[in-house]
């Protein structure tokens, strides 16, 4: 059956107009002011609603062994939650430990995603670099992965040393692969953590002082130096503060090819949430940490100016009871992460568009199109064009509701946004022309999601 969406206000990163969209064979076949309904078409009347390209979350953790436990979601819960929130494609961080073989890890992560209801791909984590790892990374690129991930933090776990960083960026430059990077100075983090714990400062409110903004900015500066000397293209994930943005701006003036991601918690929350008493602050522990509220204005300005390309989630779901509580007596043992894959789009619309921080075109650009462009998916994804995948979100700006753990599909026992109002939500979500969500309910098919094979970009 084909699909005809009529009378919607179509919004892309650059366009704003009213038209009909006909989808058949998983792709968009026609866009016109008026399209006669084919005999077999399902018709969706989008009058009074927006029609967006399917949203892309370029930074999620679903299968994640971390800090002695595992993230709670599977692709069953996470892909359904993503779709209900308007996200039709996920890019997961494949994060092997230093002792794992990269190719085996890639196959493991990929196998976990086979039940996904939405489309998916991966950033391949590089947790060590030697001849064996390099050969396997080449094969992984041949199998459709066009981005790596490195950690300049988590010493002894995911983190790599400077020689490994240089070698990874050099290989990425050779292959035309972009390198995404967690930027913090791991030596400074370890030293500050030890100092605070020695002083008896063990609660979650001390997580941010152990990883202050300057530590993140130093990590960004470090990455920029290596990118400049290797010529690699780099992408700073979950950027949280003004100092880190300034480091990227300075690198741009030197000709470094660098892009910036922020995540929805930094645009909506601040460090006071992690300072709540009775260990409630543990719900808001992530790295880099939530910052002083003053940094939010810089992040919104970065989105408006284009300095920040994407808004992701860094979705990493850990239960408050039994998992976050592992760090009740030592904040360094609290599993890091704020679950938000279900809420990103609605929060960005509510606090971005409705509060005048960004316009509708920027909203689409940072939540969909830029991720597609940066990671080899455009114009298959992130666009409303003839020939693009029919991933579409019919969005109702008149909807009013609240976020609650009691109604969410994410498999975690709390919401960081409990009771928050949202001013709009997806009313229909399609993946390659098939309706997966209607009026906030998942009505799709688990296992229908496809692995998105990507070609390296010729830098």
Distance CA 46, CA 67 (A): 46
pLDDT value for 115: 98
What is the domain range of residue 392? Answer: 3-52+387-442
What pLDDT shows up at residue 27?
Answer: 98
The mean predicted confidence, pLDDT, of the chain is 97
Give domain status of residue 188, yes or no: yes
Lowest mean pLDDT among 156-160, 334-338, 429-433: 156-160
Q: What is the mean pLDDT of residues 249-267?
A: 98
Residues 90/82, Cβ–Cβ less than 8 Å: yes
pLDDT tens sequence across 317-360:
999 999 999 999 999 999 999 999 999 999 999 999 999 999 99
CATH number at residue 34: 2.30.40.10
The reported pLDDT for the residue numbered 452 is 98
Q: Look at residue 447 and tell me if it is in a domain.
A: no
Q: Are 20 and 28 in contact (CB under 8 A)?
A: no
Q: Is residue 42 part of a domain?
A: yes
| pLDDT score of 66 | 86
- Please give the Cα distance from 207 to 285 (Å, whole number): 7
Residues 6+ apart with CB under 8 A from 27: 387, 388, 389, 390, 432, 433
Average pLDDT for 46-74: 96
Indicate whether 186 and 92 sit together in one domain: yes
Q: What is the CATH number of the domain that holds 293?
A: 3.20.20.140
Residue % of the chain over a pLDDT of 70: 99
In this prediction, what percent of the chain has a pLDDT beyond 90? 96
Q: Which of 374, 406, 430 is the last residue of a domain?
A: 374
CA pair distance 443, 420, nearest whole angstrom = 25
Q: What is the pLDDT of residues 98-150, one digit of tens each?
A: 999 999 999 999 999 999 999 999 999 999 999 999 999 999 999 999 999 99
Same domain? For 297 and 234 the reply is: yes
Q: Are residues 243 and 127 in the same domain?
A: yes
Specify the pairing of strand 16-24 against strand 27-32. Answer: antiparallel
**Using H for helix, E for strand and C for coil, what is the string for the chain?**
CCEEEEEEEEECCCCEEEEEEEEECCEEEEEECCCCCCCCCEEEECCCCEEEECEEEEEECCCCEECCEECCCCHHHHHHHHHHCCEEEEEEEECCCCCCCHHHHHHHHHHHHHHCCCEEEEEEECCCCCHHHHHHHHHHHHCCCCEEEEECCCCCCCCCCHHHHHHHHHHHHHHCCEEEEECCCHHHHHHHHHHHHHCCCCCHHHHHHHCCHHHHHHHHHHHHHHHHHHCCCEEECCCCCHHHHHHHHHHHHCCCCEEEEEEHHHHHCCHHHHHCCCCHHHHHCCCCCCCCCHHHHHHHHHHHHCCCCEEECCECCCCCCCCHHHHCCCHHHCCCCCCCCCCHHHHHHHHHHCCCCCCHHHHHHHHHHHHHHHCCCCCCCCCCCCCCECCEEEEECCCCEECCCCCCCCCCCCCCCCCCEECCEEEEEEECCEEEEECCEECCCCCCCCECCCCCCCC
> Do both 267 and 244 map to the same domain?
yes
| pLDDT over 80 at 156, yes or no | no
Residue 451 lies in a domain: no
The whole-number pLDDT of residue 457 equals 78
If asked whether residues 304 and 163 sit together in one domain, one would say yes
Q: Decide if 332 is inside a domain.
A: yes
Residue 149 forms part of a structural domain: yes
> For residues 401 and 156, which has the higher predicted lDDT (pLDDT)?
401
Give the pLDDT confidence score for residue 332 in this predicted structure: 97
Residue 157: pLDDT over 80: no
Residue 459 pLDDT more than 70? no
Q: Are residues 32 and 167 in the same domain?
A: no
Average pLDDT of the residues in 229-246: 98
The whole-angstrom separation of Cα 159 and Cα 390 is 39
CA distance 374 to 89: 14
Q: Are residues 73 and 221 in the same domain?
A: yes
Q: pLDDT at position 1, please?
A: 81
Is residue 184 located within the same domain as residue 325? yes
Check pLDDT > 80 for residue 206. yes
**Environment class of residue 396 by beta-carbon count within 10 Å: exposed (0-12), middle (13-18) or buried (19+)?**
middle
Q: Would residue 452 count as lying in a domain?
A: no
Residues 8 and 129 occupy one common structural domain: no
454 domain residue, yes or no: no
What pLDDT, on a 0 to 100 scale, did the predictor assign at position 458?
Answer: 54
**Where does a domain end: 315, 339, 374?**
374
In this structure, the answer to whether residues 344 and 401 fall within a common structural domain is: no
8 A C-beta contact, residue 360 and residue 100: no
In this structure, the answer to whether residues 364 and 226 fall within a common structural domain is yes
| pLDDT over threshold 60, residue 416 | yes
What's the structural domain count of the chain?
A: 2
Identify the domain boundary among 336, 351, 374.
Answer: 374
Q: Is the per-residue pLDDT at 155 higher than 80?
A: no
Q: In residues, how long is the chain? A: 459
Q: How many CA atoms lie within 13 A of 390 on its CB side?
A: 23
Do 202 and 265 reside in the same domain of the chain? yes
């Amino acid at each position: 059956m084909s699909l005809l969406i009529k009378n919607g206000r179509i919004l892309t990163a650059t366009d704003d107009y009213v038209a009909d969209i006909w989808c058949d064979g998983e792709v968009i076949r026609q866009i016109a002011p008026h399209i006669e309904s084919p005999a077999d078409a399902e018709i969706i009347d989008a009058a009074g609603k927006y029609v967006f390209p399917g949203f892309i979350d370029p930074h999620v953790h679903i299968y994640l062994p971390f800090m002695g436990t595992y993230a709670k979601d599977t692709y069953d819960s996470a892909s359904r939650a993503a779709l209900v929130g308007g996200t039709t494609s996920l890019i997961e961080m494949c994060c092997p430990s230093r002792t794992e073989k990269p190719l085996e890890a890639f196959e493991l992560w990929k196998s976990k995603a086979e039940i996904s209801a939405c489309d998916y791909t991966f950033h391949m984590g590089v947790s060590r670099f030697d001849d064996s790892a390099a050969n396997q990374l080449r094969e992984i690129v041949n199998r459709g992965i066009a981005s790596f991930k490195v950690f300049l933090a988590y010493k002894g776990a995911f983190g790599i040393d400077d020689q490994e960083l240089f070698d990874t960026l050099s290989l990425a430059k050779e292959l035309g692969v972009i390198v995404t990077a967690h930027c913090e100075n791991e030596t400074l983090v370890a030293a500050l953590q030890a100092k605070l714990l020695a002083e008896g400062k063990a609660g979650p409110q001390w997580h941010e002082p152990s990883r202050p903004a300057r530590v993140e900015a130093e990590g960004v500066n470090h990455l920029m130096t290596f990118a400049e000397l290797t010529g690699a293209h780099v992408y700073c994930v979950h950027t949280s503060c003004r100092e880190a943005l300034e480091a990227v701006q300075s690198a741009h003036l030197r000709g470094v090819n660098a892009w910036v991601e922020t995540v929805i918690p930094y645009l909506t929350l601040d460090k006071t949430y992690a300072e709540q008493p009775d260990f409630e602050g543990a719900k808001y522990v992530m790295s880099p940490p939530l910052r002083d509220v003053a940094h939010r204005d810089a992040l919104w300005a970065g989105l408006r100016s284009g300095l920040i390309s994407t808004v992701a989630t860094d979705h990493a779901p850990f239960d408050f009871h039994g998992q976050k509580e592992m760090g009740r007596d030592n904040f360094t043992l609290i599993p890091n992460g704020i679950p938000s894959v279900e809420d990103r789009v609605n929060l960005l619309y509510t606090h971005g568009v409705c509060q005048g921080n960004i316009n509708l075109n920027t909203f689409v650009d940072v939540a969909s199109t830029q991720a597609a462009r940066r990671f080899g998916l455009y114009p298959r994804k992130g666009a409303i064009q003839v020939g693009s995948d029919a991933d579409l979100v019919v969005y109702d700006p008149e909807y009013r509701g609240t976020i609650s753990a009691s109604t969410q599909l994410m498999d975690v026992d709390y919401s960081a946004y409990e009771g928050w109002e949202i001013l709009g939500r997806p009313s229909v979500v399609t993946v390659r022309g098939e309706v997966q969500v209607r009026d906030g309910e998942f009505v799709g098919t688990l296992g229908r999601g496809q692995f998105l094979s990507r070609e390296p970009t010729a830098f």
